[in-house]
Every structure is written in structure tokens, then in C-alpha cells.
Amino acid sequence: MFLEAVVSILSFFPVIGLATLGGFIGQKSGVWNISVEGMMAFGTFSGVLAYNYLGGSIPLSLLVGFCLGMIWGALLSVLCVHLNLDQIVVGFGLWFLTEGLAGFLYFTTLPSVKVTETLGPKLLSLDPVFYLTLASFALFHIFLKKTKMGLAVVAVGENPRAADAAGIDVYGVRWMCTTVGAAFMGLSGAYLSLVILQGFTYQMVAGYGWAAFALVLFGRWSARGTFLSSLFFTFLIGIQTRMQVAGFQLIPSEFMVVVPYVGVVLALAVMGATGKGGGMPKALGVHYERE
């Protein structure tokens, strides 16, 4: 019984893990992406759209969500890396655009779509995307620590001018990280609609994108920390859900929904109060222009 509950909780991990990893990748290169919520929302729509029109294949639909997320990431790169527009303003704009567009396009182009397929094969009752998420965290940890290109990403996020002087393409690195990060957000949203909820409803992301954004800070901008913070939040969501199902309510049900988010906020507050919130790339959010 306990093992089944743990597996059930872990099955939600790709939703949080992929979105948080996507935010981490972009921020590590020095680019804020605060439109995580919207990019996940568009991923939920694009996954269901692909499922409806491409033969009901969940793997192919997940790939579509990944690719369309990449397109939004490319747009963010154009505006913030190439044109040097304010990253916060652009992020809010893309959040409104992607979330609103997802709802508008679904209700105007699709009937009510119900996903009937399941994603397999499963190992220990967990699907391939769960293991893909674990592998992605491990690979990015190795990538940043052990490879020249990974060290280039870190250098660009810390001191782009010095990185440029060392022959690193600052714009190229930021483009790559921002685009790939957004692709993971799109994949996260597609997984939420296709595998977890098996359909689309407007605003179904329900704040998970904002939680993912906070979890990058909570993880102190490291692959290991981001992984652990994502796992922590996943368990908070699972515990809160099971408490509701069991009828265990110390507080009204409306407040039970926000328990996971309160946990993240409290953790961030403790980090700030104890001075353990370091690790932020020094050039995060700082535009770079070659002289």
C-alpha cells in the first residue's frame, strides 16, 4: 500500500521536474523565463491537438509539445537575447499570450478531446517519461560539470564579457539554453494533459509553472538542488491530494490546495533569512552587448 502510494506520487514528477529543469537551463545562461506557466499551458493544448489529429499517438504528441515549446523559446531568445528587451516584461507578455492562446485555440479548433491511450512500456509502474526526466537531470549535471560546452554555459551566466573574450559565443549559448529550456516546459505541459489528466481544460496548469520558477531558486541554481526541490514539491502535492481523498482536513479544502505552494514559499523564506539563497548566476537578467 505504501509502495503504491509512493509510485502514484512519483508519476506526477515529470510535470514538475521537466518544467523546473527548463527554467534552470535558461537561467543558468543568464536569461529569465518567467512565462513558464504559459508555456506549460500551450504545451497542454499542443499535446491534445497533436493527439487528436496525428493518430492518437502519445509519444508523437509529446514530441509536438516539446517542439512547439522550442518555438516559443526561440521567440523569447529573439526578443531578449538579440533585441535586448526587458526580460521580465517580455516574460509576462509571453505568459499572457501563450496561456490565452492555448484556451482560445482549443475552444475554437478542437472538439472535447478525451485521451484514451496510456504511455508504455512501464518499469515498476512508472512510464518512460519519468525515467527520461531522471536521466535529463543527471545528464545536465554532468554536462555543466564535466564538458567544455557546459562550462561555457556557466561562464556566460556568470560573466558574459569574460566568456566572449575567451572565444565563447555568448548569444549562441543563451539562444540554445533558452530554447531548450522552453522545449522542456512544453513537454511538461503536454505530459500533464496527455498522461496525467488525459484531456484539456483551460488553466489546468493551476500554478505549477510559477512553482517551477520558484523551485529553481529553491534549488540554488544547481542541477542537484533543482532535482531535489522538484522532488520535494512533487511529494507535497501528492501528500496534499491524499489528505483530501482520505477526508483528513485540519483546514478547509480550499486552503488544502495551496499547501504545496505554502511549503515552497516557507522554504524560500528560510533560505533568505539564513543567507542560503546563493548560487544565482551573476549575469542573470543582465543584457550583453558586444563592444
185-231 pLDDT, tens digit each: 999 999 999 999 998 888 889 889 988 998 998 898 999 999 999 99
Q: How far apart are the first and last CA of the chain?
A: 63
Taking the C-alpha atoms of residue 229 and residue 220, their distance in angstroms, rounded to an integer, is 9
Q: Is the pTM of this model over 0.85?
A: yes
Specify whether the CB–CB gap between 18 and 182 falls below 8 A.
Answer: no
Specify whether the CB–CB gap between 45 and 171 falls below 8 A.
Answer: no
Average pLDDT over residues 164-192: 96
The pLDDT of residue 38 is 95
Taking the C-alpha atoms of residue 81 and residue 85, their distance in angstroms, rounded to an integer, is 8
Q: Which residue has the cell 569574460?
A: 162
Q: Where are the domains of the chain?
A: 2-206
Query: What sign for the dihedral angle of Cα 258, 194, 187, 87?
Result: negative
Average pLDDT over residues 102-116: 84
